[in-house]
Chain A
Amino acid sequence: MTGRRWRRKWRHDLPDPRTLFAKIWDRHVVASLDGGADLVAIDRIFLHERTGAAALNSLKAAGRPVANPSRVFCVMDHIVDTRPGRDDRTLMPGGQAFITETRAAARDAGITLFDVTDPDQGIVHVVSPELGIVLPGCTLIAPDSHTCTQGAFGALAWGIGSSEAEHAMATGTLRLARPKTMRVTFTGELAPGVTPKDMMLALIARHGAGGGKGHAVEFAGSAVEALDMEGRMTLCNMATEFAAMTGMIAPDEKTFAWLDGRRYAPGGAMLAAAVAEWRTLATDPGAAFDAEIAIDAATIEPMVSWGTSPEHSAGISGAVPIDAPERPLAYIGLGPGQPIGGTPIDAAFIGSCTNGRLSDLRRAAALLKGRHVAPGVKALVVPGSMAVRRAAEAEGLDRVFTEAGFEWRMSGCSMCFYAGGESFPAGSRVISSTNRNFEGRQGPGIRTHIASPETVAASAIAGRIADPRDIAA
């Protein structure tokens, strides 16, 4: 790197070409630490009720105030009830304490709280972009692994543990070793009916759940540029399932248009100044990455997981690999070589920070309109935020879902994960628009197949795992 930089300067006296990641990182280095790590400034911190109280109370006990409370936000999303008429009570045993203690700690610390019954309530990674809290070029952290979702805005956004959250709140910084970079380029165009969810499952299936380990991954290429902001969020959301530190996409006109008018984003002359800076963030031609992967988007078909890791995924017309490991198959109850399409399901779930946004709901509703879920299939849709819920209702999507036999819920993480509260009947096979198909993720013994909202909708109608392209919307 040093040699290359020197040669360029000697030859052209031009600045070294840099990646999007490097531009953001370099801009935030407060000091270099002994041993090669950097002290990196943190612009935004998001907490949620599952771990928020622990971090805030631990800070308080140590006598350390939150350094920049106006740049710390908290939302109730993980264990809140999603049935209409909800309050602090939750189906998770003992869960109410997480809500009330986080609320008290957030108020005490003077940070912004989006509470259970607030109109802005929703899943952290849906709410933050909706309100313009994440901005291009910013560093944003949350004690939640899917914080990488927000890298879709050209931000450096990643999940951390509680100790790091405390550190960032107390000091406005984190001590970090600079990660390696990777570029994943999706060339060409997606085929009709194929979505960003399928792009990520294909990437992870082909390159492994550890394929991006520790890297800051930039998603690029024509198929990524073509995505709208919500699709880009779905893509970046699952960077953590690829073991990456984060996923990110260069900000462009779509990014700036999304942010215009959002509550916490700049407006007027300041927005113009910000956009001028944000335009300089994209990776320079010739910038080097530590690793590169290219995938022809046209080779991707709708994907479904068949095992207990997102890397256990295959095209919907495919089958469980002949050499699939035993343990995941024993859990999921499928055999080697068994076709994935046609597997009977008990339940269907649409929601989560991966696929709970308005466009996800629209695409699922388009397939469900005038149809009904198969007899015996429990189906529910949980909007990613209350704003998504209201927007969907304004379009009549709630009626499409309920008439098709889906339950229409309030916003939250809901049955994306199991905290001891609401779950599917024991042993159910669930097709789910979420991001994790781990053993027990949605409840003890629950067998999860992750897929796009379209595939979930099509499967709910068929009562078995089905290809959304077989249903004319």
Chain B
Amino acid sequence: MTPFTVLTATAAPLIRDNIDTDAIIPSREMKSTGKTGLADGLFSPWRYLSPGGRDPDPAFVLNQPAYADARILLGGVNFGCGSSREHAVWALAEYGIRAVIAPSFAPIFAGNCTRNGIVPVVLPADAIAGIAAHGGAVTVDLPAQRVSLADGRAWPFDIGAEAKAMLLEGLDAIDLTFKHRADIAAFQAADRKARPWIYLGETKA
């Protein structure tokens, strides 16, 4: 995973509430069992003129020249709700989005972001409106937990310590957890005695 520290980039406003993962990547765009080849399908219901087509809808923000190089997305409340498909985040990442700024996120989506190098930044709706109105480059500073504009305005944001560390260092969570192998083995040995019904399948063969 690509580490994230500080990013200054164009932020595309897509400020609608409850943007769901079906809109970010419709199920019909998940054409293979892999994690790639998804950027084309990103926001396809809005980005293209016809379902399944590839003619850009000029009204859609990412199709506008001013936002062609956007790497930050501004969203509405409950961003990423709906299906748990991680493809939504893979599609965003493949397209080049590295941070999404929204007043709130669906929990599964936010977790998927931090595992794929995208920072889910929670800011109040009025701050997001201010950033959108400003229109210039936006800086997301993860170590300082701060979003700022060239005009000096800045907003602090909260992010979990674990999510922050994983994003900053681009860590693989599985490797981190393997450091606890002994704890896991000890837990399971004790638990097998305490709650044998959880482990029934191991003996059934």
Contacts and interface: CB of A to CB of B under 8 A. Distances in A.
A417 B27 contact: yes
B172 to A, nearest CB: 9
Nearest to B197: A266
Contacts of B199: 70-71
A419 B28 contact: yes
Contacts of B173: 163, 167, 175
Given A37-B161, A171-B177, A243-B106, A54 B35 contact: yes
B81 A101 contact: no
B185 to A, nearest CB: 9
B200 A445 contact: no
Interface string B129-169: 00000000000000000000000000000001111110000
Contacts of A209: 18, 78, 81
B188 interface: yes
Given A97-B33, A270-B196, A243 B78 contact: yes
A241 B16 CA distance: 17
Interface residues on B, range: 35 or more
Interface stretch (B2-10, B57-65, B83-91): B83-91
B202 A213 contact: no
A441 B191 CA distance: 42
A68 B188 CA distance: 11
A192 B160 CA distance: 46
User: Could you tell me the dominant secondary structure of chain A's interface residues?
Assistant: loop
A276 to B, nearest CB: 11
A50 interface: yes
A181 interface: no
A159 B174 contact: no
A273 B200 CA distance: 14
A436 B27 CA distance: 14
A33 B195 contact: no
- Interface residues of B: mostly helix, strand, loop or mixed? helix
B192 to A, nearest CB: 11
Given A36-B162, A143-B84, A243-B107, A167 B198 contact: no
Contact of A210 (B34, B77, B85, B160): B77
Contact of B160 (A31, A36, A438): A36
Interface residues of A, number: 79
B13 interface: no
A381 B94 CA distance: 39
Q: Which of B52, B188, B197 has the most CB of A within 10 A?
A: B197
B84 A144 contact: yes
Interface in B85-121: 85-86, 89, 104, 106-108, 111-112, 115-116
Interface of A: 30-31, 33-37, 39, 41, 43, 50-51, 53-54, 57-58, 62, 64, 68, 70-71, 92-94, 97-98, 101-102, 112, 135, 137-138, 143-145, 159-164, 166-167, 170-173, 175, 177, 179, 209-210, 213-214, 241, 243, 245, 264-266, 270-271, 273-274, 277, 309, 311, 327, 417-420, 436, 438-441, 444-445
Interface of B: 16-18, 20, 22-23, 26-28, 30-35, 45, 51-52, 77-78, 81-86, 89, 104, 106-108, 111-112, 115-116, 160-165, 173-174, 176-178, 180, 183-184, 187-188, 191, 195-202, 204
